[in-house]
Amino acid sequence: MNNNKYVSIKTIIYDIVKYPFTEGIQTEDIALYLNNLLSLVGSPFMFNKKIVDIDIKNYKAPLPCDLIQIEGTRYMINCSDNNKRYLPLSWASNIYNSYLHCDGSPDLTCNSEDSYSVNNGFIYTSFEEGILQIAYLAIVSDEEGFPMIPDNVQFKQALKYYILWQYAEPSYYRGEITDKVYNDIQQKYAWYVGAATNSFNMPSMDRMESMKNGLIRLFQGMNHHSQFWNNFNKKENFRQ
């Protein structure tokens, strides 16, 4: 399970530089390998949850640079009583959605349900201007901008042996390290990355209770998305 704590990538340097084939490794190198390993493990519980407002102009806006995965989007509208309301956006099913937002496209004047798509670092919406709020998963970074390591023993060991594997491979093909050493690094990486994946994907008791309440229902509601999944974790009640 994830304890939502993170440590600096500098904490792992001292455990890596003692190996002869990792001489000259830099913090930037470890940051690159950490990003790769985060993608390989792929658990959403390793990342930081963020909510940000972005300004849509001409049907598009750049996405946050630390974005890993969008969890949801909603469009802010101003009501007559000066209160703000939010309407959820759905993912655009039109395969030409990004093309429709090219300048001069006649489809820009067509009315449709609000939706969005993502392409090449930009988010494209069905409305021309407005404030879009995005809930997304982001890489946790320190004050210097380097990604941080989840404070999980299995993950830190997986990162260590992933880096050793990447550095050992060229030395292995040059005949500078033995089969035994190279295979030992590979085996330990495979074991720890599997253990880290299982550890992050194991839900807590409270998370399992919410999942159970949402999935075990006599009547499955069809409007969870429009309610931003607020009541998905609530137990179903029956009147006597």
Rounded Cα distance, 25 and 27, in Å: 7
- pLDDT at position 99 is 54
> Which residue numbers in the chain have pLDDT < 70?
1-3, 44-45, 78-82, 93-112, 202-240
Name the residue among 124, 136, 120 with its Cα closest to residue 91: 124
> Would you state the pLDDT for residue 95?
62
Tell me the C-alpha distance between 92 and 96, whole Å. Answer: 9
Paired strand residues for 115: 90
130: left (phi over 0), alpha (psi -120 to 50) or beta: left
Give the tokens for residue 228: 């931003």
Nearest C-alpha neighbor of 53 from the set 137, 134, 139: 134
Model's pTM, two decimal places? 0.67
Question: Would you state the pLDDT for residue 110?
Answer: 47
Give the span between the Cα atoms of 147 and 36, in whole angstroms: 11
Residue 226 has what pLDDT? 53
